[in-house]
Structure 1
Amino acid sequence: MMRVHACLLLLCCACRLVTAGMRVVLSPLDTEGSVSARVGGVVSLNCSAEGGGVSEQSEELEWHRNGQLLKLDPHNHFSPSRLCVQNVTTDDHQVTFTCHLKRNPTVAASAEIKVHFPPDLSGSEDVNVQESQDASLYCSVWAYPQVAVTWLRDDQPLYLVGQRRYTLYQDSREARLTITGAQRELHQGRYSCVTRSWEFGERSKTFHLLVEDKKMAFPLWPMVAAGVVVTLTAALAVVARWDKVSKCWK
């Protein structure tokens, strides 16, 4: 039994020594350790095991996509292993692919996919709002690389200094212009959300804001109350004259 334990210990130490000198290399990568592609394009990655005192062709490798194991052709499990992502979409943006030794997952290399795509921004939209109500205009500005956003009114830069009724909000996916308590004379007009970038140029979406007269709310509950009063009055009148009505029937 002592000899068995000693042999296992020696094997374990030998395995550690072999793995200690082993590394996994991904290529081709840019200086940031990532790979870029456009929507509809192809991403190709090569993974190789190097060093460790063993033949790299005998090293079995595994691939993961954001931590999920990928099933590859059995012949593609050994170094060098190749991964190909075809017809790249925005769903592949910022996805991380990792290649590691099957016998030791700590020996690994990773690469992030950066998909270049423009914002989905075009066309026009009619926005109707009643006077004194709030109006919100939304633009999808999600893109990579990120784009600069400008708001225009009637083709002129929107003047915001001292304008408390205008509120701008923007994150990586959405730009929003909110007009608080819209007034026809002050706010009705044509607004544009414009994005600019060195890669995708200029894109825009137009909003035609129409401020309508404020509609009077229908007095539902007073009408219901009036109906109830009329019904009760008619019922009481019938009860008061019931004796005479009965005599007529007799």
Structure 2
Amino acid sequence: VLALCFLASVATGLELSVNDHTADFSLSPRRGSSLSLSCLVQNSSQAEELLWYRGDRQVGLQDGNKVNICISPVTEADNGVTFSCKLARDKSVQVSVILNVHFPPQLTGEESLQIEEGKDVTLSCNAKSNPQAQTAWFKNNTTLTLQPNRHQLYQSSEVFELSIRKVQKSDNGTYTCVVTYSFTEMTKDFHLIVEDKKPVFPMEAIIAAVVVVTLTILFGIVARKDKLFKVW
């Protein structure tokens, strides 16, 4: 019992530092960069074992290395992830680093959409970025004038959408999604072609026509049989 108490008192006097930070902190690396984290023990009179965690999972380090981890390359999947250095014999002694990964949206190319007049259409831009980018819609190189009863905008952390209800011939044109990130503009064009509305035949009329054709064929067959019997 005395030995356990002694170890606990020693552990509580220890302090860890990660990249010279003794308290939890955050870093904002860019996607594609490399990030090195170094953990050191302070106020210890003996060699200590350190453990690294990514979220709740322990990071497997090479033999002999219990101090440094390297994240290369930094990806979007690392955004919001916490890396923690912990003392092996007392995991309450730790320092954590939260990654706030910066990355621009991936916005390229163009699309052509053919939509029947009177139907709804949604134009969707991949605007996923950190920090969130500024967005706008243009039609034929002019700022789009939104009609509350026909146009609807939707934006999340990943997409920027323009929905048009009951498209009309006047909706024909090129719609451009403009995304501004860190003073850089990226665009994607959508060429909207509104086609003529296809004629719709009532189901009752189709059924009636099928019945008439079927009866006509049957009557023709019966009449032909009667004629054959008369000849005989």
Give the CA deviation at 1:163: 3.5
- 1:56-71 matched pairs, under 5 angstroms: 58-71=47-60
**Residues 248 and 88 of structure 1: CA distance in aligned 2, closer, same or farther (over 3 Å):** farther
The residue identity in structure 2 corresponding to 1:63 is W
Question: In the TM superposition, what is the alpha-carbon distance from 1:83 to its structure 2 partner?
Answer: 0.4
Deviation of the 1:20 alpha carbon: 1.1
Deviations 1:128-178 (CA, angstroms, capped at 9, x unpaired): 211111111100111122211111112122222x54211001011110000
Given candidates 176, 181, 194, the residue that maps to 1:197 is: 181
Alignment counterpart, residue 149 of structure 1, candidates 135, 148, 153: 135
Partner of 2:165: 180
Q: AA paired with 1:213? A: D
How many angstroms does 1:241 deviate by? 7.9
Contact 1:93 1:113 in 2 (8 A): yes
Q: 1:119 aligns with which of 105, 127, 149?
A: 105
Aligned-partner Cα distance in 2 for 1:34–1:118: 19
C-alpha distance in structure 1 between counterparts of 2:204 and 2:82, whole Å: 60
State the match for 2:149 in structure 1.
164
Between the aligned residues of both structures, percent identity stands at 38
2:24–2:97: 8 Å Cα contact kept in structure 1? no
Letter in 2 for 1:54: S
Q: CA 1:32/1:215 → structure 2, altered by over 3 Å: closer, same or farther?
A: farther
Q: Which runs of at least 4 in structure 1 moved beyond 3 Å after TM superposition?
A: 217-249
**Corresponding residue of 1:74:** 63
Corresponding letter in the other structure for 2:45: V
* TM-superposition CA deviations, 1:69-117 (whole Å, max 9, x none): 111012112xxx0000112222222221111011111111111222222
Map 1:18-57; keep pairs closer than 5 Å: 18-27=10-19, 33-51=25-43, 53-55=44-46
The CA distance in 2 between the partners of 1:40 and 1:243, in whole Å, is 87
- Alpha-carbon distance in structure 1 between the residues aligned to 2:57 and 2:188: 38
Cα drift, residue 216 of structure 1: 2.1
More helix by share: 1
Shift in CA distance, 69/180, structure 1 to aligned 2, threshold 3 Å: same
Stretch of structure 1 that moved more, 90-99 or 201-210: 90-99
Distance change (3 Å), C-alpha of 1:148 and 1:122: same
TM-score after normalising by structure 1: 0.80
Number of equivalences? 231
What is the TM-score of this pair, normalised by structure 2?
A: 0.86
Question: Which residue identity is paired with 1:120?
Answer: Q
Q: 1:219: how far off?
A: 6.4
The equivalent residue for 1:215 is 198
